[in-house]
């Protein structure tokens, strides 16, 4: 009996050692694979930098080429807009380019707020900017950078730019999105139907009143249900 117990203990220890060995080998293989992937991406990024330097003019002047290039960058974990310093700004000026686009967006939105309440169609904005080298994609990327800074800019339904104060609520933004999807108008019931959490009716009413008070919307009392237009 004593010897059997000893054999059993040895077997358990052996299995534990084998399991530990397998785990160690698996971790080693994962580390090796990660190193290979990292080396591949580093090599690819260097190639990307060389490509960018060679085609600098095309990237800056051709909207389609620029969109394809930035998409390729993001796929490899490179953000060409991340900083105004370093290779991407020095070699391409892309940081400066999108900064310039952002300035034009801000200026256009400010100049037209009186006639559109802060909501401008993307195509209308491009027409007013009047620069064929700037595409819809460029404007969206520039607005995304403005939004990240908390400047109250956002893209609505992919077709319009909303410029609003920093305190512009998520419910108010949702009202603008619903209105855009419905042809420009929204009523309290339609907005409330898309709100989750809390008293949806009260939230919808508050958001719509705030939009009217802020000059972003006007009211149509002739409709079957009171409608708000932007």
> Distance between CA atoms of 125 and 127, rounded to whole angstroms?
5
Does the residue 12 lie in any domain? yes
Q: Nearest CA to 164 among 109, 126, 115? A: 109
Read off the pLDDT of residues 136-151 as tens digits, 9 standing for 90 and up.
888 998 888 776 655 5
Q: Nearest CA to 98 among 146, 148, 164? A: 146
Give residue 144's domain range.
95-162
DSSP annotation of 4:
H
Q: Which of 145, 162, 179 is the last residue of a domain?
A: 162
Which secondary-structure segment (H or E) carries 109? helix 94-116
Q: Which of 123, 144, 162 is the last residue of a domain?
A: 162
Give 126's pLDDT tier (boundaries 50, 70, 90).
very high
| pLDDT, mean of residues 152-180 | 77
Residue 51 has pLDDT above 70, yes or no: yes
| pLDDT, mean of residues 43-51 | 71
Does the residue 89 lie in any domain? no
* Number of domains observed in the structure of the chain: 3
Tell me if 106 sits within 8 A of 143, measured CB to CB: no
Q: What is the pLDDT of residue 125?
A: 93
Residue 156 has pLDDT above 70, yes or no: yes
Residue 84 has pLDDT above 50, yes or no: no
């Amino acid at each position: 009996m004593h010897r059997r117990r000893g054999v059993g203990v040895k077997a358990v220890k052996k299995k534990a050692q084998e399991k530990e060995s397998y785990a160690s080998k698996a971790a080693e293989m994962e580390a090796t694979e990660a190193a290979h992937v990292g080396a591949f991406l580093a090599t690819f990024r260097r190639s990307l930098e060389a490509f960018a330097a060679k085609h600098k003019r095309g990237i800056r002047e051709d909207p389609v080429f620029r969109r394809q290039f930035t998409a390729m960058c993001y796929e490899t974990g490179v953000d060409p807009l991340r900083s105004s310093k370093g290779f991407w700004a020095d070699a391409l000026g892309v940081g400066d380019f999108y900064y310039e686009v952002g300035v034009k967006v801000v200026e256009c939105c400010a100049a037209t707020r009186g006639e559109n309440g802060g909501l401008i169609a993307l195509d209308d904005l491009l027409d007013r900017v009047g620069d064929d080298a700037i595409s819809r994609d460029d404007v969206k990327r520039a607005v995304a950078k403005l939004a990240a800074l908390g400047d109250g800019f956002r893209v609505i339904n992919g077709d319009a730019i909303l410029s609003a104060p920093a305190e512009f609520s998520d419910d108010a933004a949702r009202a603008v999105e619903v209105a855009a999807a419905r042809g420009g108008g929204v009523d309290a019931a339609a907005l409330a139907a898309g709100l989750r959490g809390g008293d949806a009716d009260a939230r919808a009413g508050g958001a719509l009143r705030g939009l009217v008070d802020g000059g972003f919307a006007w009211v149509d009392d002739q409709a079957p249900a009171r409608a708000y237009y932007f």
